Amino acid sequence: MALMDELWRECAAWLTRCGIIPADHIANQPESEIKTLAAILRDGVLLCNLLNFLDPQSFDMRDFNRKPQMAHFLCVQNIKLFLEICKSSFGLKDSDLFEPTMLYDLSNFHRVLVTLSKLSQCRKAQTLTNIPGFNFEVSQTDKSSSDEDIYKDLHVATVNHMTCAGHDEHDSKVEEVYQDLCSIQITRNQHSSIISYEQRDFVIKELVDTETNYLEALMALKYKFMQPLERVLQKDVIRVIFPCIRELCDIH
């Protein structure tokens, strides 16, 4: 376990060197555990921020959701974007990449660390930033036992959360931040229903945001342009320049 503990800490150190997490972040504390790093990467936001740091031209920052709030659909979208850019812009191979669910479900965090290691050492990242990467390799003799330990570490919080009542202030904060790692497992059917609901919720949000932006544009036309010009232009001219603006504002 010592070897694996050292490796994920090297990943956290690299993210710190890149300015993605601060030096005093809990993931860099001696008492922190691997689930700390897993939790802060799980929504894909820091991963997208990482790519933007390595190469601001690699993708449009408007393409990812900065506040997915652990919604499955939005988090997986962020993770997929990260993986696509790793391949298309940074030259990583398919064999270097993890599956989105490996991170979101924390089912194979080892693969996530492998991908980040490959990214940190790729030629483009080294050329653009000159920041030393980290090497994530486990020998075959250490691999099976180390992997088993690392996955137990990620899931043990579930048992602790349900059985342990007393914690000090620090542990309570950790549990609060990483409660997503401690949720009770749900059935496949329940999981599918939640995903469908989140996709529908995302579409509804897009519609509401579009309507909000449209209304703001209408109000700007009415109060910042049409009304001031009404003082100096004839009504017929106003109707030509601003057809139906007043009516549209009343409707919306």
User: By three-state DSSP, how is residue 59 classified?
Assistant: coil
Helix axes 109-121, 140-163, angle to 10 degrees: 120
Give the CATH number of the domain where residue 166 resides: 1.10.418.10
Does residue 105 surpass a pLDDT of 70?
yes
pLDDT 10s digits, 174-203: 444 444 444 434 444 444 444 455 566 667
Give the domain extent around 245: 193-251
Q: Do 138 and 247 lie in a common domain?
A: no
Co-location of 66 and 125 in the same domain:
yes
Integer CA distances (angstroms), 57 to 85, 89, 115, 228, in order: 11, 9, 21, 41
Quick one: 51 and 159 in the same domain?
yes
Are residues 50 and 72 both part of a single domain? yes
Q: pTM of the predicted model, to two decimals? A: 0.61
Is residue 78 a contact partner of residue 112, using CB atoms and an 8 Å limit? no
Q: Which two tokens stand for residue 156?
A: 């043990």
DSSP-derived 3-state class of residue 86: helix
Q: Quote the tokens at residue 223.
A: 């109060």
Confidence of residue 24 (pLDDT cuts 50, 70, 90): very high
Question: Could you give the CA distance from residue 75 to residue 3 in angstroms, rounded to a whole number?
Answer: 30
Task: Give the C-alpha separation, 87 to 103, whole Å.
Answer: 17
Whether 215 and 125 map to the same domain: the answer is no
Q: Last residue of a domain, which of 185, 207, 234?
A: 185
Contact between 36 and 178 under an 8 Å Cβ cutoff? The reply is yes
The residues near 248 (Cβ < 8 Å, ≥ 6 apart) are 218
Give the domain-ending residue among 154, 185, 216: 185
Q: Do 61 and 159 reside in the same domain of the chain?
A: yes
Q: From the CB of residue 108, how many other CB atoms can be counted at a distance below 10 Å?
A: 18
Q: Are 205 and 152 within one domain? A: no
Do 120 and 61 sit in the same domain of this protein? Answer: yes
User: Is pLDDT of 145 > 60?
Assistant: no
Within this chain, do residues 175 and 222 fall inside the same structural domain, yes or no?
Answer: no
Number of domains observed in the structure of the chain: 2
Higher pLDDT, 150 or 105: 105
pLDDT at 162: 36
